[in-house]
Amino acid sequence: MALRQRPSEVAAKMNSLLRPQVRLAVYAVLAVAVLFFAGRHLARNLRQIDFAAIALDWPALAAAMVCLLVVRVLNGLCTGLLLGSLGAQLRPAAAIAPLWVAALGRYIPGRVVAVAGAAALLAQRGVRLPVALAAMFLSTGLMVVISFIAGLPLAMTAEFRREVPHGWALVGGLGLMGTVCLHPRLFASICNAALRRMGRVPLPARPAAGPYTMTAALLVVRAGLMGLAAWWCVRSFSQVSPAAYPTFVGAVALATVGGFLAVFVPAGLGVQEGIFLLALGPVLGPGSGLLAVLYRVLQTLADLAVGAAGAVILHAAGPPSPGA
């Protein structure tokens, strides 16, 4: 005879069954809304451009592509450095190919495929799962904080100063707070608190100061290169002053954070473009829409290129030895 279940148990089971469906429904609504509004504004910008008068400067686009490819090398090196600092017996350069292949999973909403794929490929190279997940979490957290700091100067525009007279104090305070949070001990504590809050396992160890500092420095270079890629994209269809470079660094940094947090769309699609339009519209006018398109195309090509290269490298290396 079947035992009767308590109403609370039935409700708990129903919640567990409905929670993924509700999450998917929310993701779908958010994705449709973001893509609709970003697409509408992007189309409006592009309609204002006289494409017949534009002759793309292909060497400038090639320079932008080189910047984005170097960024992907730095992505792998940063995680590789943190893996070593957490005890993994894997050279930092050896982590690049698995991460390149797994990064293609970010084109699937939710980022689960990218994270799971990277962890699985690193585990095949002898990296323990908790260490792989911890290194990726640390690298991602550092990227978000550094990108946020890099994007703060964008708020110090004339419009911002006019609307918020003492906004410099707010921006400076946020920048100082973010910089303080980058201290290895404090950042590790913040990450552990966030992991516990999410019901995840805390970091298996505190990262060593040397690799941690090197990772942070490489991520600063990464932010600069991404801004430089955007500058070269604009240079390919319009005249742009080198003095505008910090503006592009800030815009791309904020777009990076926004696109990463928007897990409901593939690779931040729509969110990144929307931030470009908002942040660079006053500077470029309709050209901000063309920049958004060119940058997205080059990003995708760079991801496909390094993903294919990573697959070739892993295939050539063959299966890892059992003792690896």
Query: Which tokens go with 93?
Result: 């350069």
Tell me the average pLDDT across 150-164. Answer: 69
As a whole number of angstroms, the distance between CA 198 and CA 207 comes to 21
As a whole number of angstroms, the distance between CA 277 and CA 288 comes to 5
pLDDT in tens, 194-213: 878 877 777 777 888 899 99
pTM: 0.86
What is the C-alpha end-to-end distance of the chain, expressed in Å?
53
Average pLDDT, the chain: 85
As a whole number of angstroms, the distance between CA 92 and CA 102 comes to 16
Predicted local distance difference test score (pLDDT) of residue 14: 41
Q: Which of 91, 229, 224 is nearest to 146 (CA)?
A: 224
- SS3 (DSSP) at 90: coil
**pLDDT of 1 over the 50 cut:** no
pLDDT in tens, 18-36: 467 777 788 888 889 989 9
Which range, of 231-235, 302-306, 313-317, averages the lowest pLDDT?
313-317
Predicted local distance difference test score (pLDDT) of residue 203: 78
H or E element in which residue 16 lies: helix 7-47
Domain assignments of the chain as residue spans, ordered by start: 54-313
CB within 8 Å of 278: residues ≥ 6 apart? none
Which range, of 12-16, 128-132, 230-234, 257-261, averages the lowest pLDDT?
12-16
Q: Which residue has the higher pLDDT, 198 or 180?
A: 180
